Amino acid sequence: MLQATPLTEGWTLRHEGDALPAAVPGCVHTDLLAAGVIPDPFLGRNETEVAWVGRRDWTYERELPATNGHEQADLVFDGLDTVAEILLDGRVLGRTRNMHRAHRFDVTGLSGRLSVRFVSAYAEAEAVRGKVGERPGAYAEPFQYLRKMACSFGWDWGPTLVTAGMWRPVRLERWSTARIARVRPVVTVEDGLGRVELAVEVERTRVEAPLVVEARVGGERARAEIDGTAGTVRLQVPRPRLWWPRGYGEQPLYDVELTLLHEDRELDVWRRRIGFRTVELDRRADEHGSGFTLVVNGERLFARGVNWIPDDPFPSRITRERYRERLRQAAGAGVDLVRVWGGGIYESEDFYDACDELGLLVWQDFPFACAAYPEEQPLRGEVEAEARENVVRLMPHPSLVLWNGNNENLWGFRDWGWEPRLAGDSWGEGYYLGVLPRVVAELDPTRPYTAGSPWSGSWEHHPNDPAHGTHHSWDVWNREDYAEYRATVPRFVAEFGWQAPPAYATLRRALPGGELAADSPGMLHHQKADDGNGKLRRGLERHFAFPEGDFDRWHYLTQVNQARAVAAGIEHWRSHWPRCAGTVVWQLNDCWPVTSWAAIDGDGREKPLYHELRRVYADRLLTLRGRALVVVNQAAEEWTGAVRLRRMSVEGAVIGEAEVGFRAGRRAVAEVAVARELEPVGAKEFLVADADGLRAVHFPAPDRDIPYPRPEFDVSVAPGAVTVTARTLVRDLLLQADRLDPEARADRGLVTLLPGERVTIGVSGWRTPDPDAVRSALFCMEPHR
């Protein structure tokens, strides 16, 4: 039987002649941090103090344990970041140049001092650039010249921390006769029958040995012979329970076990979990253009999505528990689709396992983003090899429903001035329209592939044409008011978003000492977007009087603006289902403390946007659009009822009201006309719609023009709860629980109360309830100062 020995202990890292203890999996930065050689790059402006790390070469060393006792011994690296030379007592075993692949080296009968030497990623990228020529990109750093996590080189939300190291497990595998090299599971469902086809490849030490594979799944068993180094075993599971996205059904998973046998002696075992479901991507043309609708088990979906970035600049620090916490947060916000963005990595099995269990659909980008990528060697061969490895590695996961060729590169070629600069040089089109669709079609024919995001489906249309395929909406954040989201109805919005700073306690930890200010050196260092603070200011000034010199008010208003902006887009686009078939918010998470588009900040704290997503991504939603109330019902049951419409003054008087019945079918949208006499007029009036505990509020004027009354409310405090009772209109009330205690969390975000209404906010992690502290942690709209 194959024996695997983890090689996690006993490593050292060479630094200026010294040998520092090293953790594997890990990276140079985390080892230097643990040894006290570098400061925490997340704090203050320390990021710049550690930039030298990415410019150095590094060596890891340890003794290789005995390799005897079997016919073959392999040294296996699941992930080397990135350009490495592997030596044993000075003898070169091999070289690597791809972070996204595993590597295996024959060490049969060998022993001695094992060294893994990493070349600076900068040096390698610059060498490749010198060989293949300059290629344009959205950022100056040379990430497109090597197969490494692009955002290691910084992004408009991330630090520049160029890593090196053994970022995934290392082990010694010893085996005899044969081992399982690869299993490619093709899982299909047809006419109530689940089919599992396991294509098996083996590696042998003895060519003549007869081999058999035996597989089992769902109580069914099957056997097949191995002809040379390959074979296929097929199983059928009658009436399998279908795997569904969250909100559409359950997520049953089936254990699959495949055993390699020689004369009934077990040689190796492969185990995974699978789910039975079908997935299609409907891109048919219609009167609006051409669609982009995911269909799972025959059910057409409006995808309620978020974009996912690597949750840490040092991915080896992301534990199974951390993946699950972050993805449970996503599910708790009503999310049913997570897009793994192309500037990051193929995530670990822990990520996809959690998505399988939580019913989160996964849209997986291949790792290409925001640059022209050379198609010459040494990159081309690495791209195909990594694609083949990772497609097969991730195939068992029912949550994975879409392969995407790249992020914004087709768009960049057309609109960002790349085409004339390239002058005919390769830029990645051959990957996105050639290599990658061929690999997916050959290895994973059950899943759809799209060439990029955004992508209109062909060069006949602009790559970012909202009427065709996927669309990225960034003109709004960069240049316009978020009201402009309502000007178009894209077929599928794969990226859009609005910035806000992280939670107060996160900023306090990241920027210790002194007073916080929006334009302080520390705050500006933790704002990576081009003119980010300028865009935040202009976005505020369209709606509010800018709070000059008042950091607390600036912090609150930017959080409000972020939540309102994203909600404006989602409410509008959901109201146009099925023409628009999905929104994927940029972004769910942050990898460090930073002002960004995230709903969950770099310390894992939920911003008001997170709670707003819970509202606008719920199965049922009310939204006011022009002279209509739109009733959005994504539930499996019909929704019927009556909506109470009230035209009100900001002083709290009801100017007019009506009760109107509605009926929205399952997974459908319905409209209710708003009578003209209920339409609010001027800045002193607003419209409220209530039905089944849900509310929509429409103020026709920007906040800066609304004569809000001075908010008056009563506050009562009990263990784990804060209750606020309004005596006036209280708009966008927010309890920033982390101001009470860094560990405290509130269970809701922004809430608008009419006079006489109350809300109870659950608060966890609050050690010493203090009514006076609660008052200072509550924010809402106030009269202009």
Active-site residue list:
408
Distance of alpha carbon 402 from alpha carbon 581, whole angstroms: 15
Nearest to 532 by CA among 519, 514, 546: 519
Distance of alpha carbon 30 from alpha carbon 712, whole angstroms: 50
For residue 717, the cross-strand partners are 722
Distance of alpha carbon 582 from alpha carbon 472, whole angstroms: 12
Distance of alpha carbon 190 from alpha carbon 436, whole angstroms: 27
- Beta strand pairing status for 170-175 and 212-217? unpaired
Nearest to 62 by CA among 18, 25, 112: 112
419: number of Cβ within 10 Å: 15
Contact by Cβ (8 Å): 29, 53? yes
The DSSP result for 455-492, as a single string, is: B-SSTTS-TT-TTBSBEEE-HHHHHS-GGGGGG---S-
For 258, list phi and psi in degrees, rounded to 5.
-125, 125
Q: What is the DSSP letter of 432?
A: I
Structure tokens at 458: 């062909």
The contacts of residue 716 (CB under 8 Å, 6+ apart) are 722, 723, 725, 771
Nearest to 693 by CA among 634, 759, 608: 759
Distance of alpha carbon 726 from alpha carbon 738, whole angstroms: 23
Cis peptide before 177 (omega within 30 of 0): no
Structure tokens at 44: 């203050």
Nearest to 77 by CA among 89, 91, 90, 60: 60
